[in-house]
Amino acid sequence: VAQLRDRLASLAPRPQAGIARRLGHDALRLRALARSLEAVSPLATVARGYAIVRHDSGRVVRSVLDTAPGDALEARVTDGWLKLRVEGSRPE
């Protein structure tokens, strides 16, 4: 019985060590996935000083041709939203 108790005591830490290794690996993988998501997020672009402009309906403005004078727009900037109205456009 003493031998079995000693054997059991020596084996007890193994599952915990395996779980700890797995959790560490999963945490690294999760951090890498989070970085990948941040890299493709439109909010990362906004944080660099750009804006996302959209119509009140939510449709994103990709071109001056997507707007007309008088259109109400919203612009997403780093710290919130701006309400805008188109006065005119100048295609390049």
Q: What pLDDT is attached to residue 74?
A: 97
Q: Is the pLDDT of residue 7 over 90?
A: no
Q: What does the alpha-carbon distance between residue 90 and residue 70 come to, in Å, rounded to a whole number?
A: 15
88 pLDDT band (50/70/90 cuts)?
very high
CB 61 within 8 A of CB 72: no
Residue 23 has pLDDT above 80, yes or no: yes
Q: Domain-by-domain residue ranges, the chain?
A: 2-40, 43-85
CA distance 62 to 82: 17
Q: What's the pLDDT tens digit per position in 28-76?
A: 999 999 999 988 888 888 888 899 999 989 999 999 999 999 999 999 9
Rounded to whole angstroms, how far apart are CA atoms 71 and 64? 11
Q: What is the pTM of this model?
A: 0.57
What's the CA gap between 43 and 54, in Å, rounded? 14
pLDDT of amino acid 82: 96
Structure tokens at 54: 């959209």
pLDDT of residue 65: 95
Query: What is residue 38's predicted lDDT score, i.e. its pLDDT?
Result: 86
> What single letter denotes the amino acid at residue 4?
L
